[in-house]
Amino acid sequence: MINLPLAKLLTVKVVAWSLAGMVTVGAAAAGTVALSSSGSTSTSPGGAGSSPAGLAGAASASGTVSGGAPTQAAKASASASLSGSTTPGGAVALCTDLASRAESILGQANGTVTDTAGQAGLAQVLASPTVSQLLAAQPFSSLISLADSATAVPDYCGLLLSVPAVPVPSDFTQLPASVITQALGTLPASDLAGVLDSLPAGELSQTLAELSPAQLSSVLTTLSPVAAGSVLDKLPASSLPTVLTALSASTVASLLPSLPASDLTHILTTLPDPAVGTILTELPAGDLSSVLTQLPQAALGTVLTSLPAGDLNQVLITVSASSEGSVLIALPAQALGSVLTRLPASDLSGILSRLPASNLGSILNGLPAGDLATILTTLPSSTVSSLLASLPTATATQILGKLPSSVLSGLQGILPPSIVSQLPLG
């Protein structure tokens, strides 16, 4: 009897599957895996655990070493696949026995029993060439049909055993889409995060593309904000828009504001401009303001100045009603001028008129002189007069003092007398 830390881990895994009600073969099949409560493995008198050749036909449906051909029950349980809402106990038992036997062989090949306790050790064992050798023998060969190929078996078993890292990331997408989608939907949040984080960008993109919008939403909202941000941050620019625009507006509204600022910044500055506009205009006012105010000044300027005109209008109208101009105040001067001068006069008038006097004064005073002149000469005269009259005289005088004399003279007839008297007009 070989006492292996890995065997103890696998015993816990199988028990967990049983308690979750996901083992669909009989109690005997789930309870007689060749792993004792102390974590030992059973081998035949002939030393079946000593080499791949000696393991041919070694495990029955219950996981007990028999030394002979698998029974019909073993074949039936091994041929079950991940489908519907259940996971086959037979496949779990086979994967458990496969990993335990590979661990034993690896230890004996090194002249000692290895100590690969923990999930990292389990992933390493499944990724070893020893697993490929064992798959040539019954009953483990039945796992090949379940995973669609021998190279996908390590990752298939990794999913069944909730290993929070993909044993062979480059082969992960060889698994049937149905296996991947169900497995991702049943993994705990921490294991799910590990699986997705261990995939290279290309395989991660392909995996997420296999999910329906509902499944994709479930996966991303199951993850912690940090893990979800890491997953989205890892996606290439070519697939990131497909993932985000596939989500419902409610999912995007709950997901984006919760992301770490660094991941949110990368996402919004990586997405193509139309996709950014589509996403931002779907957000409710409070969530939109939360997203934009998390961005550093430079990133905020990049995002807003690159939006299509229609989307920019909608975004600014939405946030001005909820953030009282905090988004505009956060913009660098050049970006602020670029954003405001792109707005139609009617939208610009509505946005500025809703701002508190203190924020309005800060925004107008922060504009470059050329952009300030463009705005004040574009707005209706009545709006200009109303906006300036709402400001303290000293603030209004300071703002107007930035204008060229030619522009200032043109505004003289619409300015409040209290302000005119303070200006250097000829």
**Each residue's pLDDT tens digit, 367-407:** 999 999 999 999 999 999 999 889 998 899 899 888 888 88
Q: Which 3-state string (H, E, C) describes 359-373?
A: HHHHHHHHCCHHHHH
What pLDDT sits at residue 67? 33
Sole residue written with tokens 């993932």: 243
Please indicate, yes or no, whether residues 64 and 17 belong to a single structural domain of this protein. Answer: yes
Give the mean pLDDT of 317-326: 78
Last residue of a domain, one of 206, 236, 257: 257
pLDDT one-digit tens code per residue, 163-206 = 889 999 999 999 999 889 888 888 889 889 999 999 999 999 99
Please indicate, yes or no, whether residues 16 and 109 belong to a single structural domain of this protein. Answer: yes
Last residue of a domain, one of 163, 188, 221: 163
What pLDDT sits at residue 268? 94
Average predicted confidence (pLDDT) for the chain:
77
For the chain, what is the domain count? Answer: 2
> Range of 224's domain?
176-257
Please indicate, yes or no, whether residues 19 and 154 belong to a single structural domain of this protein. Answer: yes
Do 229 and 264 form a contact (C-beta atoms < 8 A)?
yes
How far apart are alpha carbons 17 and 35 in whole angstroms?
15
Within a 13 Å sphere around the CA of 417, how many CA atoms are in the beta-carbon half?
Answer: 0
Do 93 and 61 form a contact (C-beta atoms < 8 A)?
yes
Which residues lie across from 65 on neighbouring strands? 59
| Comparison of pLDDT for 185 and 40, the residue scoring more | 185
How far apart are alpha carbons 24 and 309 in whole angstroms?
57
| Position 44 pLDDT exceeds 80 | no
Whether residue 286 is contained in a domain is answered as no
Please indicate, yes or no, whether residues 81 and 214 belong to a single structural domain of this protein. Answer: no
Please indicate, yes or no, whether residues 24 and 56 belong to a single structural domain of this protein. Answer: yes
Do 138 and 69 form a contact (C-beta atoms < 8 A)?
yes
Q: Is 0.85 topped by the overall pTM?
A: no
Please indicate, yes or no, whether residues 79 and 198 belong to a single structural domain of this protein. Answer: no
DSSP 42-85: ---TT-GGGSSGGGTT-B-TTS-B-SSPPPHHHHHHHT--SBTT
Please indicate, yes or no, whether residues 6 and 119 belong to a single structural domain of this protein. Answer: yes
In terms of phi and psi (left: phi > 0; alpha: psi -120 to 50; beta: otherwise), the region of 72 is: alpha
Q: Which amino acid is at 130?
A: T
Sole residue written with tokens 């229609």: 310
Please indicate, yes or no, whether residues 96 and 228 belong to a single structural domain of this protein. Answer: no
Do 247 and 216 form a contact (C-beta atoms < 8 A)?
yes
Do 301 and 293 form a contact (C-beta atoms < 8 A)?
no
| Position 116 pLDDT exceeds 80 | no
What pLDDT sits at residue 114? 42
**Environment class of 82 (CB within 10 Å of its CB; exposed 0-12, middle 13-18, buried 19+):** buried
Whether residue 376 is contained in a domain is answered as no
DSSP 251-265: HHHHHGGGS-HHHHH
Please indicate, yes or no, whether residues 110 and 21 belong to a single structural domain of this protein. Answer: yes
Whether residue 193 is contained in a domain is answered as yes
What pLDDT sits at residue 16? 42
Please indicate, yes or no, whether residues 102 and 188 belong to a single structural domain of this protein. Answer: no
